[in-house]
């Protein structure tokens, strides 16, 4: 897994509204391993209607999802944690966050300070506009998504107005930067990321974002989130403010 995603050629970095956004594609076998781990837990929760108390992560989060479970164990076991650290090091070095470019960050300088998976049910589950404090980067990956093509075709055929496609695709991740003029014709005021299995996104944790609900009948939306900070050695290589060293979680995490 690490060999497949650590190459800079496989990591795209764009600047749609100045702050950088990275995207890559995770190996299918890795996505399956994480999904199998989560699905075993979620199937039991759906059947019983009760959450797994030992893994439940929702008390640290804002928004509404049927289940939010801690996945740090499976990230370490599968090797995903190492690969994510490699992607984050490449992202930070490439976007010139460092004060001293002669001391590039290594994957060992990266810390994962929060990791959870979301099972979002149709018609109601969503995340309101929020950001992730006390970390440098937020990352999102997708394990399973509804059938967007069938959903769009049905909406167009039935002229559905409850779930609009113009300003936000149902089930999409919407990034909302504060650095853009409201009506600028040159820079988008929002970026809609339509979830796709195996796609993995990374962006500054202070970018506000939200997740739209989606209609029933097209499958589940399953994603995972990893928050990233730096080790003490990593911070010594950068000019990042000291307050970012905190790894405590606020209600908007």
Q: Give a yes or no: residue 207 inside a domain.
A: yes
Q: In terms of residue numbers, what domain contains 143?
A: 2-245
Domain membership of residue 112 (yes or no) is yes
Residue 151 inside a domain? The answer is: yes
**Residue 250 resides in a domain:** no
* 40/50 Cα distance (integer angstroms): 14
SS3 13: strand
Residue 251 lies in a domain: no
Query: Closest by alpha carbon to 120, among 28, 38, 200?
Result: 38
Q: Residue 6: pLDDT above 60?
A: no
Percent of the chain with pLDDT over 70: 81
- Please give the Cα distance from 87 to 102 (Å, whole number): 19
For residues 163 and 82, the model is more confident at 82
In a domain, 212, yes or no: yes
| Block residue for tokens 């979002």 | 120
Of 93, 122, 123, 125, nearest to 106 by C-alpha is 93
Domain assignment present for 123? yes
Q: At residue 140, does pLDDT exceed 60? A: yes
Backbone angles phi, psi at 43, to 5 degrees: -60, -40
- Is a pLDDT exceeding 80 seen at residue 155? no
Whole-number pLDDT of residue 63: 79
pTM: 0.86
In the chain, the number of structural domains is 1
Highest mean pLDDT pick, 69-78, 89-98, 210-219, 230-239: 69-78
Q: 62 lies in a domain?
A: yes
Q: What is the overall mean pLDDT for the chain?
A: 83
Cα 74 from Cα 67, distance rounded (Å): 17
How crowded is the C-beta side of 250, counted as CA atoms within 13 Å?
9
- Domain of 155, CATH number, reads 2.60.120.620
Q: Is the pLDDT of residue 29 over 70?
A: yes
pLDDT the model gives residue 251: 27
- Read off the pLDDT of each residue in 227-241 and give the average, rounded to a whole number: 84
- Which one has a higher pLDDT value, 240 or 237? 237
pLDDT for 246: 44
């Amino acid at each position: 897994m690490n060999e497949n995603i650590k190459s800079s050629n496989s990591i795209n970095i764009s600047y749609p509204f100045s702050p950088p956004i990275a995207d890559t594609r995770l190996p299918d076998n890795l996505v399956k391993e994480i999904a199998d781990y989560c699905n075993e837990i979620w199937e039991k929760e759906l059947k019983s209607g009760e959450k797994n108390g030992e893994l439940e992560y929702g008390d640290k989060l804002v928004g509404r999802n049927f289940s939010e479970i801690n996945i740090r164990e499976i990230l370490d076991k599968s090797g995903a944690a190492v690969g994510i650290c490699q992607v984050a090091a490449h992202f930070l070095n490439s976007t010139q966050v460092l004060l001293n470019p002669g001391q590039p960050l290594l994957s060992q300088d990266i810390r994962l300070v929060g990791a959870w998976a979301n099972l979002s049910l149709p018609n109601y589950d969503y995340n309101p506009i929020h950001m992730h404090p006390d970390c440098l980067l937020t990352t999102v990956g997708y394990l399973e998504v509804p059938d967007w093509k069938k959903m769009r075709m049905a909406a167009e055929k039935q002229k559905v107005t409850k779930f609009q496609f113009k300003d936000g695709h149902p089930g999409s991740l919407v990034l909302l930067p504060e650095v853009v003029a409201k009506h600028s014709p040159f820079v988008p005021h929002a970026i809609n990321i339509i979830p796709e299995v195996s796609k993995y996104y990374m962006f500054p944790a202070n970018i506000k974002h939200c997740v739209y609900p989606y209609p029933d009948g097209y499958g589940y939306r399953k994603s995972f989130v990893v928050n990233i900070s730096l080790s003490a050695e990593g911070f010594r290589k950068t000019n990042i403010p000291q307050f970012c060293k905190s790894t405590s979680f606020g209600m908007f995490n």
